[in-house]
A and B are shown apart, each in its own frame.
Chain A
Amino acid sequence: MVDNKVSSDLLRGHTDTMILKLLMNGDKYGYEISKLIQANSKSEYELKESTMFSSLKRLENDGNVTSYWGDETQGGRRRYYRITEKGKGTYFDNKKNWEHAKRILDQLL
């Protein structure tokens, strides 16, 4: 777990991009996203629900993702998110910006 506030703030700033990256490999529902982020970070980062859902709703409002109800027969319906063409563009832009910032930070720090 990331206990340090600064690094967790830094990571949270990239929530949109993390989610977009996961959706590049197929549609996912909220709990799946949250579990994948925990697993892919080897449990070093846990996304808070409030952060994740705010990010999903923002991505949807901006047209980066769309969502639809799944057709689960038992239990409640899951809401799936799908990345749009615009979302793919946003992902690549964000990724490029991060590589750029990382290069500069590596030189400065």
Chain B
Amino acid sequence: MEWIRVLLSRVASLFRRRRLDAELDEELHAHIELAIAENLRNGISPDQARTAALRALGGVTQTRETYRVQRGLPWLEQIARDVRFGLRQLAKSPGFTLTAILTLMIGLGANTAVFSLINALLLRPLPVPHAEELAVLHIDRSDDQDGPSYDFSAPVVRALEKRQDVFQNIAGFTWDDFQIRGSSGNVEVIGAEVSGQFFSVMEARPLLGRLLTPQDDQPGGTAGGFPVVISESFWRTWFNRTPDVLGRRITIDNAPFTIVGVMPKGFIGADSMRPAQIYAPLAAGPVIDAPYDNITAGVWWLSVIARRRQGVSLEQANAALRATAGSLLDEAVPDAEWIKDAREHHFQLAAESGSTGYTYLRARFRKPIIAVFWLCTAMLLLACLNLASLLMARSAARERELATRLAMGATRRRLVQQLLVESMIIATLGTAAGLLLAPFVNHALVAYVLANSHGATLDVDLDLRVLVFVALAGIISTVAVGLIPALRATSGNLNEQIKSGSLTASSREHRSTLPRILLGLEVALALMLVFGAGLLATSLTRLYRVGLGFDPRGVVNIDLDMYKQSLAGEALVHWYQTYGDALRHLPGVGSVSFAQITPLGGEFITHSFRTPLSGGDRTVHINLIAPDYFQTMRIPILGGRDFRWSDTLASGRKIILNQSAARELFPGQNPLGQQIRSSRGPLEVIAVAGDTHYESLRENSPPAVYYSITQNPNMKQSSYTAVVRTEGSPASLADFVRALTTRMAPDIPAPIMTKMSSVLDASISSERMMAMLAVFFAVCALLVTAIGLYGTLAYATARRTSEIGIRIALGAQRVQVVAMVFRENAWIAAGGSLLGLVIALLASRALASFLYGTSVRDPWVLVASVAALTFIASAASLIPAIRAARIEPITALRLE
């Protein structure tokens, strides 16, 4: 404990330095006075007495110095001195300092932003006790092209609930938009349907009331409707935190529910990106989703999360799941055909770590975000290399200063520490600037990730993990930037450094290969970044230029949620027609139609058809549309006629094929007027329309069959999306739609309006995110490399001023001088480019899965990247070279 006391007293003394100094001085004065008095008493003459007293003390200054060392924290004071000195040094060359801080800011800021995204999306555990015991289940099938499936059907979940050998508890859950009856119509909030053991899996405790239990998860519910548990924020916003909320009735999707509990603030459920406001039992699903019943229909739509028993490893859980997968299928899937198909494709259940819960966006963004992270790391590395070579060039210019200090007795350790403190200042300022930049980058990245994901949130706040990452990145960059230059600068031969003047060239300059290697690596890295960015950008432009088959510009989608209102059947069709007519009369609106599925939203329906000519079943995409759809979307009708509002079920069911479907179903024939058999009677082909992309840009235009919404035999409360072609940008459209909807369907939630062009952007958001960032980094890399090449060459040339002056005096041509200086960098640029090219070609395969219609060895991109780099490198090297050629021999030699 004694050392704590000593440390505290030393630290305390740092803050009262001045007073303590004064006290020591007074004490020493007293000492000398006492000594003089004694000497005088002993008969020594007055002037001798003072000298003797001082000699006996051994020097006031020395005493003061050793006393101070004992009193404070010498190393801390030394570092403080170094920091002050370093700041002065940096302030002397503001251009260098600013460049250094800016490059580090970009590197560290981007890294921090992307890491906090990775943290939020992939690393942060759910805020529940012992999150490491959680497991998320998935299904492996040999015919899965997009990785494992995380979707389970309700009967499978029910069957899993019964098997509790390796899992303590297991639960299915899904999120859903709940329509809550408020004071002014229905409002949509994010809700979750969870099976009975969900809250046991999460080991959650309620803030108020109770949790949902397996007894709540029974078909039919209780007299007061199903029980629900609400979130703290729902309790706050809807009930103003009133404690008597328990037992209150709440209307969800027109059905009564009873609130039995409130969850604490930190509880976010099992999907961190969609924290639910309301948790309802899974058995209430048919009530909430009416008129649909996913449970009876056997839809695969539930995610499954489980808590392992203590001592059961993930491997053991997996083994147990493999053993039960077969019997589970027989128990939970009624369709024998389906089971047979599943067995053929090696249907298998598997568990993976579930500490971070499950969110579907993770599967989609894991690869792009990790790729982006590597981009950022390359950028940071490049910034560090650049700074290291600039520092090296700078410390070469400071050689004389350092050599003098070494000669005067400074230890090498002391000088290295001092130089490291300088780079630490740069790194600290760069990190701080990066932390300021990070939220902006983060904001942009999150917008990309969440585009198209209605209701999702991503908490990218800085937590401890991110801060540790930032600190580590900062420290590593300090060392990477500072250590090599510091060691090199202090390693030279003392004599030689002092002998040679600061302005004379020395032969050492030509021997230094290390800075050239660093610069060469920087060029290589820059080329890789530029090449990668070129590939991603080319792929993106090809995606944009791909023929959509329709014209998205000016089209606005209006999502109408009609499931919960009272109209159905023909009355509802009539409602849509009236709604469309009203919209069409708004100035600036060209045409209006409706569709069940709008293109590029990721959704699709398929169905199999066969004709005598088709040669077996043909899978085609399906859509339900209203009249004028083709006109609104500007899809050409290549023959036949459009649907009409007067086409009803009674007038015979009509369909329209797209070109591909016509080719597949009626090869070599005119499909117009032909009939296709279906389980609900014959369908007559009345027209052929142009092909369009359907669910995404990456998928080719599929064969498609269009039905009319006027002839939908499942005359339930179908919800369609209104598609509106606008001219110009009718500002009043949103207000008009809101007012019109409130007037015509007061019950439904406010419709969500999206521009078709933003749907298009959102559908390729991960591609756009990668391409934008890659291009941004590539531009930065080019700029930084240019600064590096320019800076080091300028320093080196400045040191050769007199040598060049002599050369010119001896008759060297100016052009020769330019060539001589230029050559220094030309070798670096050429070598670095070659290395970068080799690595880029080897590494570009990693990008293959992100590219569309672009080869990883696209020769044009390759040539363009090399050209860009060559141009930048030449421009950066020419300036010092030309400046060198302008040297006047007389001035140069006079400097000597």
A and B are partners in one complex rather than unrelated chains: no
The residues of A with any CB-CB pair to B shorter than 8 Å are none
